[in-house]
Amino acid sequence: MWAGQQSNMKVLGKDELQVAEQVLLQHLPKSYKVYGFIHGINRNKPTTQQVVADSWPDFKVIICRPDPMKCTITNQMTMELTEDQLKVAEIELEKYLPRSQQMYGFVVLRNRVKSDPAQIFVDKWPHFSVVFCKPFCKQENDPFRIIFVFATNEAVLEETIRKSSLIDWTTYFGLGINNSHMEIFKKMVSEKNVPCRKISVCHRMRLEDISKLPPIDSSGISLSSLDESHIGLVSQTWKFVEHEGADGMIHRMISNFPSCCVLDADGRPVSWILTYNSCAMGMLYTLLEHRGKGYAKVLISSMAKRHHALGLPVYCFIEEENTTSYRLFTNLGFTEDPSYRKAWFEFN
């Protein structure tokens, strides 16, 4: 079910649930989860969930989500979202675009591709003010040890960080955050006397309307996807490769998410672009001897169309000092909110 594209959902009543059960029965086994759930409700099984559909009676999307009237909020500072709650979170985060872009992108991809194990926490449910995305990491310096944060309320963000145990201040971690929230972390850093280093500050560039892409001539250019044999090539040229887990991260990106490359006459990639787990396009690179041939333009345009066709957001982050890349994306129709900056920091 492609639930994320729906935002105005109708809550089904008692009679409608009887009808929905019959409709879903005809779509077994695909519908078995929701069917089973509704089957239970219709036989008076107690629940704190509600069933919503995109339209009625001819629905295309039907999902179960926590009923705000019945949902008890936990005493803890945060709660981890389940797979079903992540589908609802996607719809909620969409309402906060573009501010929620990175968290939204992560949840969208996570709801469609099971690749990187990660935990998503919220301060409360279902009306959250703070969302934390905390990936599982196997290695000490894994670049996936980067926590993303989205917050609509700074006071709640500060309280959540202080009172929850989401952040382990004694060990290494990275943080991707709206630059405007950084004061909170700076305060904590000085209180806890933890070393902190800025990795980069970026423009967030979005292509809101795919039809804004200018026509690009890709005739004579051989395009393909990257495969596992290209991990070393991509990793050698990636700016942040000093992180020990870079190869593992690139491996997961190539294996699970869209990528695109230009091949030379011998079938070797000379220019490429990947997709991060937050759905941002990135790691764009053209080998020196192949620059200025229009390869990057072709790749960005091709990936943008692919993301769009898959229902994925089309966006990227560009470091403030990378004026070439900024111009490249701007000329292709990408725009930014000039007051917004995404910042990455490392602690410990």
Residues at the site binding ligand COA, with contacts judged by CB under 6 A: 271, 284-286, 291-297, 318, 322, 324-325, 328, 331
Site of tokens 């196997």: 138
Interatomic CA distance for residues 150 and 181, integer angstroms: 9
Q: How far is the CB of 200 from ligand COA (least distance, A)?
A: 11
SS3 state at 276: coil
Query: Which of 183, 321 has the CB closer to ligand COA?
Result: 321
Give just the sign of the alpha carbon dihedral 303, 304, 306, 311.
positive
Query: Which of 119, 331 has the CB closer to ligand COA?
Result: 331
Query: Which of 120, 284 has the CB closer to ligand COA?
Result: 284
- From 88, 159, 87, 175, select the one nearest 123 (Cα to Cα): 159
Interatomic CA distance for residues 202 and 100, integer angstroms: 15
If you compute the radius of gyration of the chain from its CA atoms, what whole number of angstroms results?
Answer: 22
SS3 state at 74: coil
Q: How far is the CB of 317 from ligand COA (least distance, A)?
A: 7
Q: How far is the CB of 145 from ligand COA (least distance, A)?
A: 22
Q: 74 is written with which tokens?
A: 């936990």
Query: Which of 180, 324 has the CB closer to ligand COA?
Result: 324
Query: Which of 10, 293 has the CB closer to ligand COA?
Result: 293
Q: How far is the CB of 267 from ligand COA (least distance, A)?
A: 18
* Contact of 142 with 249, CB cutoff 8 Å: yes
Helices 14-25 and 32-42 pack at an angle, to 10 degrees, of 140
Q: How far is the CB of 236 from ligand COA (least distance, A)?
A: 12
Query: Which of 179, 237 has the CB closer to ligand COA?
Result: 237
According to DSSP, the residues that pair with 271 across neighbouring strands are 262, 286
| Angle (CA) 165 71 8, round 5° | 105
Q: How far is the CB of 181 from ligand COA (least distance, A)?
A: 23
Q: How far is the CB of 285 from ligand COA (least distance, A)?
A: 4
According to DSSP, the residues that pair with 196 across neighbouring strands are 347
Q: How far is the CB of 311 from ligand COA (least distance, A)?
A: 23
Interatomic CA distance for residues 67 and 185, integer angstroms: 34
Interatomic CA distance for residues 212 and 334, integer angstroms: 8
Query: Which of 128, 285 has the CB closer to ligand COA?
Result: 285
Query: Which of 88, 314 has the CB closer to ligand COA?
Result: 314
